[in-house]
Amino acid sequence: MKRLFTRLLLSLSIALVLLFASVGVFAAPNVTVISKKGEVPAADRILVKFKPDVSQSEKGKVHFQNNGQVIDVIPEIDVQVVKVKGKALEKAADYSRHPGVEFAEPDYIAHAVFIPSDVYFEKQWGMTKIQAPEAWDVTTGTKEVKIAILDTGIDQDHEDLAVKIVANADFTPSRTVDDKFGHGTHVAGIAAAATDNGKGVTGTGYQSSLMNVKVLGDDGSGYYSWVAKGIIWATINGARVINMSMGGSKPSKVLEKAINYAWNRGVVLVAAAGNDGSSAPFYPAFYSNCIAVGATDENDSRASFSNYGPWVDIAAPGQNVFSTTPNHDNYIHNYGIAFNYDYLSGTSMASPHVAGIAALVWAKYPQLDNSKVRKKIEEGVDPAIGFDPPIGRANAYKALQQK
């Protein structure tokens, strides 16, 4: 294993010199952070859940009275996606006043979690920081453990990812499951890029498989309902771990129900804590059945952009993290990103480190339930600096050693 890691470091060093001779940025400076975008609800969409005893005819009357049209459903949690005329907040309030409606809320928009960056680095530091090589001496994971990447898609023929993708699903209007934005491909590489293949980068989950669940469109944003449907689909189709490097600042009962649906069926859910540098809640990471992940730098200090607070569970490397990027034209490439690999920053990059660790723990301890897997991850940590209240920085090796 030590020889393997030496070869990996050597190949990585060569790749860095050859591929990253320009500044890598994750998005244009005028792209706002997702929690700020997420404050704006969809203009003409709301999510409605009726009480169990309400008949179909009564539901139809309520929609007719409110000039609403059902355009989609999420049957597993009995929620309807309704197109309305007028302001979504006002229409949701109108629906909520009916005694047969359990709740109604705007279909908020989630965005990929990232921040601009123009800093060069000469090495991939995150894997060493979380002691991934030592963890791989214990287990290199298994392809039977699937990590679902709920994001903008994954590059379908990337040299470091194609062999890892075992399923694709698209809940957006995009014409392809491929990644035309660039965010999902970077996240996927951190979680489980092909390792020991003589190419590119290593992935935390090593042998783990990837499920590409496209819930954010080609512009990097998507409705909460798309995310909820993606969570449920991934759960039904065998994901053991779900990574969500996106979100918004508004709570959603529908999103929380989808989270609980997956958790109650044994899935470990990991989500980015957001990049506002505040303690304000950020969703879905804020929900108790998600592991909320903040970001640290090379010194184990909280990255200046990372959210914090009592709802943030753990931290992981998130500043200037080196991983896979699409091998074709994509949105973020227009702002300086090299094809195939580059450095990006954000809690988006921190979250898949933890998702990969979860996959390793599942591989080592397949008999555990998700609460015990989560416990091992959250207790097997190193100190992190600058979080209030204090939390630990993820350590893959320690997580595997926890009793």
Residue 316's φ and ψ, nearest 5 degrees, are -155, 165
Q: What's the rounded Cα separation, in Å, for the pair 183 and 219?
A: 10
For 235-265, give one letter per residue: b (16+ CB within 10 A) or e: beeebbbbbbbbbbbbbbebbbbbbbbbbee
Q: Which amino acid appears at position 105 of this protein?
A: E
pTM as predicted: 0.81
Residue indicated by tokens 């050693």: 401
Provide the pLDDT for residue 42: 66
Which residues are catalytic, by number? 151, 183, 348
Q: What is the token pair recorded at 237?
A: 């189709």
288: buried, middle or exposed (CB in 10 Å: 19+, 13-18, 0-12)? Answer: exposed
Q: What's the rounded Cα separation, in Å, for the pair 249 and 251?
A: 7
CA 286 to chain centroid, in Å, comes to 13
User: What are the Cα distances from residue 195, in Å, to 52, 145, 168, 190?
Assistant: 49, 15, 21, 11
Residue indicated by tokens 């975008």: 37
For 68-93, give one letter per residue: b (16+ CB within 10 A) or e: beeebebebbebbbbbbeeebeebbe
Contact 289, 311 (CB under 8 A): no
Q: What's the rounded Cα separation, in Å, for the pair 67 and 91?
A: 9
Provide the pLDDT for residue 332: 80
Provide the pLDDT for residue 124: 72
- DSSP, collapsed to helix, strand or coil, labels residue 203 as coil
Contact 225, 197 (CB under 8 A): no
Provide the pLDDT for residue 155: 97
User: Each residue of 305-346: pLDDT tens digit?
Assistant: 999 999 999 999 999 999 999 999 888 865 555 678 888 999
Provide the pLDDT for residue 21: 22
User: What are the Cα distances from residue 283, in Å, to 60, 222, 245, 342?
Assistant: 31, 13, 11, 27
Radius of gyration of the chain (CA): 20
Q: What's the rounded Cα separation, in Å, for the pair 361 and 268?
A: 11
Q: What's the rounded Cα separation, in Å, for the pair 316 and 159?
A: 26
User: Each residue of 188-237: pLDDT tens digit?
Assistant: 999 999 988 888 899 999 999 999 999 999 999 999 999 999 999 999 99
How many residues in the chain?
403
Q: What is the token pair recorded at 301?
A: 């200090």
Provide the pLDDT for residue 337: 52
Domains of the chain: 2-33+112-401 (3.40.50.200), 37-109 (3.30.70.80)
User: What are the Cα distances from residue 367, in Å, to 88, 133, 136, 363?
Assistant: 45, 24, 19, 9
Provide the pLDDT for residue 123: 54
Provide the pLDDT for residue 238: 98
Provide the pLDDT for residue 334: 58
Of residues 364, 360, 266, 373, the one with CA closest to residue 314: 373
Contacts of 298 (CB under 8 A, 6+ apart): 125, 129, 317, 319, 320
Of residues 28, 19, 24, 34, the one with CA closest to residue 348: 34
Q: What is the token pair recorded at 72?
A: 């989609």
Query: Mean pLDDT of residues grouped by 10 in the chain (403 residues)?
Result: 32 23 26 36 86 94 94 94 91 94 93 45 76 91 98 96 98 96 96 89 95 96 96 98 96 97 98 96 98 97 97 97 91 67 93 98 97 98 96 97 83
